[in-house]
Structure formats: C-alpha cells, structure tokens
Amino acid sequence: MKINRHAKIVELINKYHIETQEELADYLNREGFKVTQATVSRDIRDLKLTKVPTDDGKQRYAVHQQAETKMSEKYIRVLRDGFASMDKAQNILVIRTVVGMANAVCAALDAMEWKEIIGSVAGDDTIICVVRSEEDTVSVMDKIKKIVS
C-alpha cells in the first residue's frame, strides 16, 4: 500500500500545485488513501520531496531531482512490483500490470522521464505508452526488461 501511496503522491504533486501537508493529505483521502498528516509527513521525508517556488511567489512540493539518474529505487520497485508483461505495436507499447497497479507503474515510468516516451495513459491493469519511433519502442522494452528481471 505504501508503494501505491508514494506513486500517487508523485502523480498528485506533478498534477497540482500542492503547498501543504494538509492539502496533500486531502488529495490522498479523496483518492481513497486514508492518511493522517503524520503519514504524509513521513511520506514526504521518504520520497525526499522538496518545496520549489512557483511563478506566483508561492511554494509547492516537487520531487527532488537527482543529479545523475532519475530512476530512484522507489520507482524501480514500483515497476518491478506492478509489471506483468508488455508487447508492442509499432511505436505503441502496451504494458500489462497487476490489477490496480497501472496508475502507480505509469507514474513511475513518467517520473523516469525517458526521452523516448512521448506520453502514457493508464487504466486499471494496462498502460499505453506512445513512443517516438519503433526503434525507440524496442529500446524502452529493453530498459524495462533490465529493471524487472
């Protein structure tokens, strides 16, 4: 559950300008995660979130960018735990996941910021990734295989 919650936090802070722990807890509760402010505080520490300035002079939570690689161990773990299989159709990559894990795996893939992936959409147990080219699709599949094996 913690892995799913962490993936949802990353998804939420990338989607919304969240300024406070209370605001993040509200979003999580609306998404079905029953959390307290103390849980959110621990999650923020575990994910190493930081506050960054916004254009309007306020601050919001953001994932602390790692210098060398953006594939933190948490994202890799989410991908490993949720991955079931994958197949391609030209430049479209279809990833099957454990039921209920597609959003978490999709958020982890998005957080990795692979230049080959243009965008992705998640359902309950399936992710559709639009990849720049058929060759890039093979490259992305190889990267995923290395992570999950």
| Average confidence score pLDDT of the chain | 90
pLDDT band for position 66 (cuts 50, 70, 90):
low
Q: Residue 92 in contact with residue 75, Cβ under 8 Å?
A: no
pTM above threshold 0.85: no
Which of 44, 63, 82 represents a domain boundary (last residue)? 63
Position 35 in a domain: yes
Name the more confident of 58 and 65: 58
Q: What is the mean pLDDT of residues 89-98?
A: 97
Q: In one letter, which amino acid is 103?
A: N
Position 68 in a domain: no
Q: Specify whether 45 is located in the same domain as 101.
A: no
Q: Specify whether 89 is located in the same domain as 144.
A: yes
CATH, residue 16: 1.10.10.10
Q: Which of 99, 114, 101, 103 lies closest to 147, judged by CA?
A: 114
Q: Specify whether 59 is located in the same domain as 77.
A: no
- How buried is residue 85: exposed, middle or buried, by Cβ count under 10 Å (0-12/13-18/19+)? exposed
Give me the pLDDT at residue 68, please.
40
- Give the domain range for residue 79: 73-148
Q: What is the mean pLDDT of residues 49-56?
A: 86
Per-residue DSSP letter, 67: S
Position 40 in a domain: yes
